[in-house]
Amino acid sequence: MQIIFFAAVGVLAYVGYRSFVREAQRVTAKIRRTEKQAANGTMGTLVKDPKTGEYRLAKD
């Protein structure tokens, strides 16, 4: 019974850690984009819509 409990806690800790790392990478990328935009004097990042071929502002 204790082995199952500790295994479940281990799996939960691993999933939480991976989620935290993913979120930290997303936030870091957003901060870097914002810093780059401030340095260049731009108002946003354009991304190409693959369906229409039009460029639009990136949504964060």
d(CA 4, CA 47): 47
Give me the number of domains the chain comprises: 1
Model-level pTM? 0.65
Determine the Cα angle at 24 with ends 21 and 25, to 5°: 85
Whether residue 50 contacts residue 58, with contact meaning beta carbons closer than 8 Å, is answered with no
Could you tell me which of 52, 53, 58, 9 has the C-alpha nearest to residue 30?
58
pLDDT tens digits for the chain (60 residues)?
899 999 999 999 999 999 999 999 999 999 998 898 888 888 888 889 999 999 998 876
pLDDT of residue 32: 92
pLDDT of residue 45: 81
Beta bridge partners of 29: none
Domain range for 41: 1-59
